[in-house]
Amino acid sequence: MFYSLSGKLAHTEPGAAMVDVGGVTFKCLTSMGTLRALPPLGERVTLYTHLNVREDALDLFGFASQSELNCFKLLTAISGVGPKVGLAILSEMSPETVALAAAAGDAKRFTRASGVGAKLAQRIVLELKDKVKSLSAAGFDWEGPEPGGVSASGNAAQAVEALTTLGYSPSDAAAVVGRLDSALPTEELIREALKIFGTGMK
């Protein structure tokens, strides 16, 4: 229903940001990651939004970047990960860190978030890794050279795999990572790739 909100940042509190759009102030539930990225009160801000419809409420979630919103949607699609837990994870981990932890099978990293026990952390890792496996089964070869000149080893390959856990197609992820300096750390490659995706891959 809402793609994004742009307006004046009217107020913030733990777990929420209020945006004044033409005199109507919207309360957006959000992560600590987004709160840290917000401008000072009174300045213009854009939040990418997701409307969660429940029987007794309409909850609007807002994020400073499309990558964080996409990561939130991926997480909350996992059984046992509701919006509250999704925000808790993104308050402890960036989308890049979520992707890297899932790709590496590092379930313990997710248990740092409030409400995430060992069993749920394992489920998160398994379901996100299954996305990578299903893409490979569909014909994307992780063992050979990737499109765009990305080799199947090293930081670039890890970045491509991590990006697929965030919902990007392997071919798109490989093409974008292939334009970057493969000597960069994996997390930096992911961050730069997300910036390119955010600008429409121009």
CA gap 10, 24 in Å, rounded: 10
Inside any domain, residue 137: no
C-alpha of 24 from chain center: 28
Q: Which two tokens stand for residue 67?
A: 């990558």
Q: What is the CATH number of the domain that holds 46?
A: 2.40.50.140
Query: Domain total for the chain?
Result: 3
Regarding whether 71 and 126 lie in a shared domain, the answer is yes
Question: Domain range spanning residue 55?
Answer: 4-63
**Phi and psi for 17 in degrees, rounded to 5?**
-135, 135
Check: CB of residue 176 under 8 Å from CB of residue 159: no
**Phi and psi for 121 in degrees, rounded to 5?**
-60, -40
Regarding whether 46 and 79 lie in a shared domain, the answer is no
| Per-residue pLDDT reduced to its tens digit, 149-177 | 444 347 888 888 888 877 788 778 888 88
Regarding whether 85 and 48 lie in a shared domain, the answer is no
| Per-residue pLDDT reduced to its tens digit, 100-130 | 888 778 899 999 999 999 999 999 998 887 7
Q: Whole-prediction pTM value?
A: 0.70
Q: What is the mean pLDDT of residues 24-42?
A: 95
Q: What is the pLDDT of residue 34?
A: 94
Choosing from 34, 63, 92, the residue where a domain stops is 63
Tell me the pLDDT band of 136, cut-offs 50, 70 and 90.
Answer: very low
Compute CA distances 111 → 85, 91, 100, 114, whole Å: 11, 12, 15, 7
